[in-house]
């Protein structure tokens, strides 16, 4: 009788282990531009509910993410806020060429703190009203590259360059503005939509800088390529367009 009970308990335990193993979801690693932080977190919840995947997010500037992948950092999907860095990833063979696609668009804005001067214009960055303003490092942060392009187009870059505080990604620019450490910052419209500590002074005219497209691709070293393609397809689906709009993006 004792042997029967022990055997029965072992069977129950084994069945429990099998069930747990069967319920375990596959991890899908997403390396994404930091400006996608808020919107991707919501998209991730919806995607995980519909699939058997758990999304592991790695947010940073597009350039730093590309360098990480180049150095062998594990990942399945690369989401870049810059065509330059997606082209770099393609040239280095870091992503599969057939998987590259545009996933969404954004706009650049001049943002100020909630109590800041909401009537600021780009030309005001050269005035005494502004002592410091923040932008992403143009060498590695796409938002910083677009900001520099806009300021150069307006003939302001040389005049205001000494006032610029460089950040390692666009969310750090937003943090500088929120904290009041700078008078203004050039961020994405989506950052203002996602964060309470920012308000838009002006929407930067699109003709002043390169188009702001976000690109997605499957990382070449991924062992979850089919799942990665499934995620990229989901990002272009009708189900997520409303989410993009809520966070200030154009789907």
Q: Is 109 exposed, middle or buried (0-12, 13-18, 19+ CB in 10 A)?
A: buried
Q: What is d(CA 22, CA 15) in angstroms, rounded to the nearest whole number?
A: 10
pLDDT category of residue 4 using cuts at 50, 70 and 90: very low
Structure tokens at 58: 């790695």
| 23 pLDDT tier (thresholds 50, 70, 90) | low
- Look at residue 12 and tell me whether its pLDDT is greater than 60: no
Q: How far apart are the first and last CA of the chain?
A: 66
Q: What is the pLDDT of residue 213?
A: 95
**What's residue 195's pLDDT?**
87
CA–CA gap between residue 230 and residue 226 (Å, rounded): 6
Q: How does residue 25 score in pLDDT terms, banded at 50, 70 and 90? A: confident
Residue 250 has what pLDDT?
87
Q: What's the pLDDT band for 5 if we cut at 50, 70, 90?
A: very low
The Cα–Cα gap between 77 and 32 comes to 8
Pick the CATH number of 108-208 from 3.40.50.970, 1.20.1250.20, 3.40.190.10, 3.30.9.10: 3.40.190.10
pLDDT at 208 > cutoff 90: yes
pLDDT band at 15 (very low <50, low <70, confident <90, very high): very low
Q: Are 135 and 147 in contact (CB under 8 A)?
A: yes
Question: Residue 83 belongs to what H/E stretch?
Answer: helix 83-91
Nearest to 111 by CA among 213, 184, 204: 184
The pLDDT tens digits of the residues spanning 103-133 come to: 999 999 999 998 877 888 999 999 998 999 9
For the CA atoms of the chain, what is the radius of gyration? 22
Q: Say what percent of the chain tops pLDDT 90.
A: 80
CATH number of 23-105+214-246: 3.40.190.10
Phi and psi based region of residue 249 (left: phi greater than 0; alpha: psi -120 to 50; beta: remaining): beta
Average pLDDT estimate for 37-51: 93
Say if CB 125 and CB 156 are below 8 A apart.
yes
Q: Looking at residue 124, what is its pLDDT?
A: 95
Exposed / middle / buried, residue 81 (Cβ in 10 Å: 0-12, 13-18, 19+): buried
- CATH 3.40.190.10, the chain: domain bounds: 23-105+214-246, 108-208
Question: Closest Cα partner for 136 from 178, 164, 105?
Answer: 164
Q: What is the DSSP string of 131-195?
A: S-EEEE-TTT-HHHHHHHHHHHHTT-HHHHGGGEEEESSHHHHHHHHHHTSSSEEEEEHHHHHH-
pLDDT on residue 116: 76
Residue 189 tokens read as: 């419209």
For residue 204, give the DSSP letter: P
Tokens, residue 24 = 């375990």
């Amino acid at each position: 009788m004792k042997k029967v009970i022990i055997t029965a308990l072992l069977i129950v335990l084994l069945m429990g282990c099998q069930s747990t193993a069967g319920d375990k979801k596959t991890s899908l690693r997403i390396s994404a531009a930091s400006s996608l932080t808020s919107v991707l977190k919501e998209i991730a919840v919806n995607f995980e509910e519909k699939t058997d995947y758990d999304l592991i997010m790695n947010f940073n500037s597009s350039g730093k993410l590309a360098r990480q992948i180049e150095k062998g950092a594990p990942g399945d999907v690369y989401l870049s806020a810059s065509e330059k860095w997606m082209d770099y990833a393609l040239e280095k063979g870091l992503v599969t060429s057939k998987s590259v696609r545009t996933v969404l668009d954004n706009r650049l804005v001049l943002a100020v703190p909630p109590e800041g001067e909401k009537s600021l214009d780009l030309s005001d960055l050269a005035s005494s009203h502004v002592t410091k303003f923040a932008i992403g490092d143009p060498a590695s942060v796409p938002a910083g590259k677009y900001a520099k392009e806009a300021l150069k187009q307006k003939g302001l870059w040389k005049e205001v360059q000494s006032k610029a505080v460089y950040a390692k990604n666009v969310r750090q620019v937003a943090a500088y503005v929120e904290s009041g450490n700078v008078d203004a910052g050039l961020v994405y419209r989506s950052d203002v939509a996602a964060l309470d500590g920012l308000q838009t002074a002006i929407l930067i005219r699109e003709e002043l800088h390169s188009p702001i497209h976000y690109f997605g691709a499957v990382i070449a070293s991924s062992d979850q390529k089919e799942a990665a393609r499934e995620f990229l397809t989901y990002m272009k689906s009708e189900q997520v367009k409303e989410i993009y709009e809520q966070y200030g993006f154009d789907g």
